[in-house]
Amino acid sequence: MTKERHALKRAVRPATTATPDDTESESLSPYRHFSRTEWAALRENTPDTVTSGEIARMRSLNDRLDLTEVDDIYLPLSRLLALHVAASQELFHGRSRFLGTSDGKMPYIIGIAGSVAVGKSTTARVLQALLAAWPDMPKVDLVTTDGFLFPKSVLERERLMERKGFPESYDLPTMRRFLHDVKAGKRHVAAPVYSHLFYDVMPGEHVVVDQPDILIFEGLNVLQPARLPRDGKAIPFVSDFFDFSIYVDADEAILQRWYVDRFMTLRQTTFRDPRSHFHKYASLTEEEAVATATSIWTRINLVNLRENILPTRQRADLILRKGESHLVEEVMLRKL
């Protein structure tokens, strides 16, 4: 473990040219900044454990993911996370010995946040596959927050359909209870299932999490703090259950293009299914579809990004900064 930490420290190279202002800003920042090349060097000898075919299945619609991206970005990240998980397990067992308890294993929870269309799902699926290949971590589960949205009937009754994805559209007590039970090591913890086809939570359908080594919990607002109670009573944030958190980031203008591109692809595919909630958009002309997608982005997703999602970026332990090509160009890791 010590050897691994020293290797990570040696791989951090200071910028070759920096003004006094840049140096001061960097020293005061809670993050270490890595270029793509610097971050890729941290992979060291971590082996490839996924194939091109598996990558194609993990890639979200219109996202870009290939073996080079896995090698340069996600293998170093999986190595870092493996170090964190091992250290957490060691601390957990040490504290159990200190307290004289015989608690079972405590799952390590990784939260992944970011805007609509930024590629959170791709990041989550890649990390799930890579982490499951590390020794002593055979069970890595993935749950998204979509299932914890209120049912469409409730959102319609409360006039929240235009606020879907905003914090108030989620059943936060149920979400917190799920994370509490997983963190407590309970068996067979159920999470509701969401259908993007029907744009609704599916009644009676659940995904069951049964004491995983790692749980990846992915969603728009998972890093948002709750409103603090005036009486000081403990109301946990969702992020209080996380051991490590990741924010997937990109500029607003880029995110809008990705959202519109995805909408245009769905218009030719999923939206054509008569059962789809968005079937009405399948018959739009190309010009009408672009205008509709842009309106939805500006009216709903951009507002949510600015008001609720982006302000949580600095709460993350690690930020993956993407460029126009969908590839990660910069990595920011919180200093210990």
Strands 318-322 and 328-334: antiparallel
Alpha helices (H) along 133-163: 152-157
Q: How many domains are contained in the chain?
A: 1
Instruction: With respect to residue 42, please indicate whether it lies within any of the assigned structural domains.
Output: no
Instruction: With respect to residue 40, please indicate whether it lies within any of the assigned structural domains.
Output: no
What region, left, alpha or beta, does residue 280 occupy, with left being phi > 0 and alpha being psi -120 to 50 degrees? alpha
Length of the chain: 336
Instruction: With respect to residue 294, please indicate whether it lies within any of the assigned structural domains.
Output: yes
**String of b and e for 106-129 (b: at least 16 CB within 10 Å)?**
bbbbbbbbbbbbbbbbbbbbbbbb
**String of b and e for 244-258 (b: at least 16 CB within 10 Å)?**
bbbbbbbeeebbbbb
Q: What pLDDT does 24 receive? A: 52
Instruction: With respect to residue 109, please indicate whether it lies within any of the assigned structural domains.
Output: yes
181's tokens: 């039970």
pTM above 0.85, yes or no: yes
Instruction: With respect to residue 59, please indicate whether it lies within any of the assigned structural domains.
Output: no
Instruction: With respect to residue 203, please indicate whether it lies within any of the assigned structural domains.
Output: yes
Instruction: With respect to residue 218, please indicate whether it lies within any of the assigned structural domains.
Output: yes
**Dihedral (C-alpha) 330, 261, 61, 255: value to the nearest 10 degrees?**
30
Mean pLDDT of successive 10-residue stretches along the chain, which has 336 residues = 43 44 64 96 88 84 86 96 92 88 84 97 95 85 98 97 96 96 94 96 96 96 83 83 98 98 95 95 96 98 97 97 96 94
Beta bridge partners of 206: 192
Q: What pLDDT does 137 receive? A: 65
Task: Tally the C-alpha atoms within 13 A of residue 211's C-alpha that lie toward its C-beta.
Answer: 7
Beta bridge partners of 334: 31
Instruction: With respect to residue 148, please indicate whether it lies within any of the assigned structural domains.
Output: yes
CA–CA separation, 209 and 147 (whole Å): 14
Range of the domain at 206: 104-334
CA–CA separation, 299 and 293 (whole Å): 10
Beta bridge partners of 320: 248, 331
CA–CA separation, 56 and 65 (whole Å): 8
Q: What pLDDT does 6 receive? A: 44
144's tokens: 């998204």
**Contact predicate 183/78, CB 8 Å:** no
pLDDT tens, residue by residue, 88-125? 988 988 988 899 887 777 899 999 999 999 999 999 99
Cβ-Cβ contacts under 8 Å for 82 (sequence gap 6 or more): 131, 134, 137
Q: What pLDDT does 4 receive? A: 45
Q: What pLDDT does 11 receive? A: 42
SS3 for 221?
coil
Q: What pLDDT does 12 receive? A: 42
Q: What is the CATH number of the domain that holds 316?
A: 3.40.50.300
Q: What pLDDT does 23 receive? A: 53
SS3 for 48?
coil
**String of b and e for 36-61 (b: at least 16 CB within 10 Å)?**
bebbbbbbeebeeebeeeebeebbbe
Eight-state DSSP code of residue 149: B
Cα angle for residues 82, 175, 262 (degrees, 5° grid): 75
**Contact predicate 29/4, CB 8 Å:** no
